[in-house]
């Protein structure tokens, strides 16, 4: 059956809008997210535009700060410092990837961890690992909200994560092993140096794939009844779609779906839940729920 990102994200957006309305009624202000976008990468443009649009939909204020590719690291760090100091701002995201001459670690660490609604700052990652209140990275957070919504059993299950990125693979593996729900899984992380990945994916009760390769997971790599979460966002040009692009996941959906008990589609799955993770973090920041 389908883990339906459209259905879940619309439902949760309603709840988030309620939270924003309450803040507005009580304080006269809206939760405020600032997105910083450098350059004109097609994927990044699309994601940031979607984040801004969703902010409007739930009654948040949003701002977009744009730079060309030739912005210096110092200029960017200076802007982040300015945004950190602005009391009207609850959340700051700097869209990744950044141009090669800018160190993403420096920028990530410059963001005040109390406004780090991407959850990428080492303070938030460390606190997450220790099961302390923190901002959880948006995509892993969205995945946990999806599993929760469908009451997917996770305790004692073998969760295999394919991919070890800072944004998805690494944090979701921590979350799935934590002593919480969803969590309490036995977690295996597979990556580019894992020999015979199929040997591991075949053991998965829950398979989370974030490797960035179209149709990487095929039907022969999964067991009957597996729960599949496809984080892939592989954009290809298309003459058929209005946008000129078509999105593909990392999983061969057509052939894997008949074996799966639950599976996320692409599009319409994890991508929509990532936005929910970001909105939830921004609302939590505005409510001072994580940090006073």
Question: Which positions lie near ligand GUN, rule CB under 6 A?
Answer: 93-96, 118, 138-139, 167, 274
User: Closest approach of Cβ 147 to ligand GUN, in Å?
Assistant: 18
User: Closest approach of Cβ 97 to ligand GUN, in Å?
Assistant: 7
User: Closest approach of Cβ 151 to ligand GUN, in Å?
Assistant: 26
H helix or E strand, kind and range, residue 144: helix 138-149
Residue with Cβ nearer ligand GUN (13 or 259): 13
**Residue 236 dihedral angles phi and psi, to the nearest 5°:** -125, 150
Going by C-alpha positions, the residue among 123, 126, 128, 75 that lies closest to residue 98 is 75
Going by C-alpha positions, the residue among 282, 288, 292, 291 that lies closest to residue 20 is 282
61, 95, 116, 252: the catalytic one is 95
* C-alpha–C-alpha distance, residues 69 and 38, integer Å: 6
Active-site residue flag, 51: yes
Q: How many C-beta neighbours within 10 Å does residue 16 have?
A: 22
90, 116, 118, 230: the catalytic one is 118
Residue with Cβ nearer ligand GUN (89 or 256): 89
Residue with Cβ nearer ligand GUN (91 or 260): 91
Active-site residue flag, 61: no
Q: How many C-beta neighbours within 10 Å does residue 69 have?
A: 13
51, 61, 115, 157: the catalytic one is 51
Active-site residue flag, 118: yes
User: Closest approach of Cβ 233 to ligand GUN, in Å?
Assistant: 8
Which value, to the nearest 10 degrees, does the dihedral of the CA atoms of residues 264, 205, 134, 141 take?
A: 0
| Residues tagged active-site | 51, 95, 118
């Amino acid at each position: 059956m389908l883990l339906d990102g459209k259905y879940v994200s619309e439902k949760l957006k309603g709840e988030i809008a309620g939270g924003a309305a309450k803040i507005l009624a009580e304080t006269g202000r809206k939760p405020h997210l600032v997105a910083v976008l450098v350059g004109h990468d097609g994927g990044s443009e699309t994601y940031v535009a979607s984040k801004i649009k969703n902010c409007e939909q739930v009654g948040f204020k949003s701002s977009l700060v744009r730079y060309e590719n030739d912005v210096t690291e110092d200029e960017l760090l200076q802007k982040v410092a300015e945004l950190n100091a602005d009391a009207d701002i609850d959340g700051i995201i700097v869209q990744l990837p950044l141009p090669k001459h800018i160190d993403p670690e420096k920028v990530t660490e410059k963001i005040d961890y109390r406004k780090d609604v991407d959850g990428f700052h080492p303070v938030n990652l460390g606190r997450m690992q220790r099961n302390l209140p923190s901002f959880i990275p948006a995509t892993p957070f969205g995945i946990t909200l999806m599993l929760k919504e469908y009451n997917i059993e996770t305790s004692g299950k073998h969760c295999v994560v394919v991919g070890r990125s800072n944004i998805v693979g690494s944090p979701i593996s921590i979350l799935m092993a934590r002593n919480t729900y969803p969590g309490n899984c036995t977690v295996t992380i597979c990556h580019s140096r894992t020999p015979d990945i199929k040997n591991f994916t075949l053991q998965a009760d829950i398979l989370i794939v974030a490797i960035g390769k179209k149709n990487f997971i095929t039907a022969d790599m999964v067991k009957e009844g597996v729960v599949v979460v496809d984080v892939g966002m592989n954009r290809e040009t298309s003459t058929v779609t209005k946008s000129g692009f078509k999105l593909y996941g990392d999983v061969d959906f057509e052939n894997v779906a008949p074996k799966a008990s639950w599976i996320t589609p692409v599009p319409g799955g994890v991508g929509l839940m990532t936005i929910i993770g970001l909105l939830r973090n921004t609302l939590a920041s505005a409510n001072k729920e994580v940090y006073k």
